[in-house]
A = this chain, B = another copy of it.
Amino acid sequence: AKTYNICLLPGDGIGPEIIAEGCKVLDAVGAKYDTAFSCTEALLGGCAIDATGTALPDETLRAAEASDAVLLAAVGGPKWDTTDPAKPRPEQGLLGIRKALGLYTNLRPVQIFAALADASTLKPEIVDGVDMMIVRELTGGLYFGRRERFYDEEGCGMDGAAGQRAYDTLEYREYEVERIARQAFEAARKRRNKVTSVDKANVLETSRMWREIVHRVHDEEYADVELEDLLVDNTAMQLINRPADFDVVVTENMFGDILSDEAAQITGSLGMLASASLGDGTALYEPSHGSAPDIAGQGIANPLAQILSVEMMLRYSFDMQDAADDVRRAVTAVLDEGWRTGDIKGPDTPADKVVGTVAMGDLVVECL
């Protein structure tokens, strides 16, 4: 039997609860497809800060690098919130591992499960058929550019007085844009063959460069794919106005952060959306939602986005397409049977169809 080593990063909040369900699903898939998934846990985020003083301990990074794939749950929580630049923050763990593993492509599929179409705050005829893939650049831009904060004796406070100033740098190099553009065009060829490239070329120099490079890559290598440019502010509107029109949306890191969450919310069921972060080596899979500290430890968190990140892992890291299809079918079947966690239940969901984290994981495993 083939063996894959998986590095598990439960993180904070509901993380440990939902990742356990992801592992259950991995085990079930392994049994069916004669594959062994050997899982090792490591610390990332707030729990790592508490245990070691840093959000991304060396040990964790080494474990991740040595693995065949990383399954992350979620990091962060109010406990570690701080604006003091000197203090460690859980997000440094997430950003650090993305950078260290070179995970420059973040794929965020946004789809509507038929059984949950009602969960959207948008009208049913608007969300009908929504099926897009956000391709977010993940290791460049404002997230990783130089940043600093100063105290100046004059000119920064009111009326020329003393005060602080700070900056962050949005920087891109040609190869960073080129490789993410290729990822977007490749993804489009496997889908509806259309790419929307999002920038703010009427203001930002990085956006003007972005637009030129995306078009060059398109014209030279992917002229068969339909390509349109859309300004980021207009995109924020059109996602609400005509979400079903989008196929692949490619954009830089910060715009991608904002637009992918907006697009996720259009489905009304953020608890159902997974993401893959890919580079040239080990890849990382995580839910699109956060660590939900407010419901942590109660056994009520929705594990389905975590389970769907296992689906993505099977697809992208292990090329186990049948197994991935199985997982998706199982999740769809469980929803079609009416089972819901609290976050995705509707006004008409009968009380006995509302289940907790573990029960939901069990239902998916049964369906496999």
Instruction: Mark A residues whose CB is within 8 Å of B.
Output: 76, 81, 83, 85, 89, 91, 95, 121-123, 126, 142-143, 145, 147-149, 155-159, 161, 163-175, 178-179, 200-206, 208-209, 211-213, 232-234, 236-241, 254-255, 257-262, 264-266, 268, 270
Contacts and interface: CB of A to CB of B under 8 A. Distances in A.
Contacts of A211: 83
Number of copies: 2
A177 to B, nearest CB: 9
Contact of A169 (B121, B170, B260): B170
Given A76-B202, A83-B211, A157-B178, 4 more contacts: A164-B174, A165-B171, A167-B171, A237-B261
Nearest to A151: B174
Contacts of A258: 232-233, 236, 255, 258
A173 B213 CA distance: 33
Given A83-B211, A121-B126, A175 B163 contact: yes
Contacts of A148: 205
Contact of A158 (B122, B172, B175): B175
22 contacts: A76-B202, A81-B201, A95-B203, A121-B240, A145-B167, A149-B209, A156-B173, A159-B175, A163-B174, A164-B209, A165-B172, A166-B206, A166-B208, A168-B169, A233-B260, A233-B261, A234-B261, A237-B262, A237-B264, A240-B240, A240-B262, A255-B258
A302 to B, nearest CB: 16
Contacts of A174: 156-158, 163-165
Contacts of A161: 175
A93 to B, nearest CB: 11
Given A121-B241, A208-B85, A202 B91 contact: yes
Which residue, A91, A149, A200, A203, has most C-beta atoms of chain B within 10 A? Answer: A203
Nearest to A259: B236
Contact of A270 (B156, B237, B266): B237
Nearest to A126: B121
Contact of A167 (B91, B156, B170, B233): B170
Contacts of A259: 236
A65 to B, nearest CB: 22
A35 B146 CA distance: 53
B202 A168 contact: no
A168 B91 contact: no
Contacts of A171: 165-167
Contacts of A143: 203
Contact of A142 (B147, B175, B179, B204): B204
Nearest to A202: B91
B241 A257 contact: no
A216 to B, nearest CB: 11
Nearest to A199: B83
A176 to B, nearest CB: 9
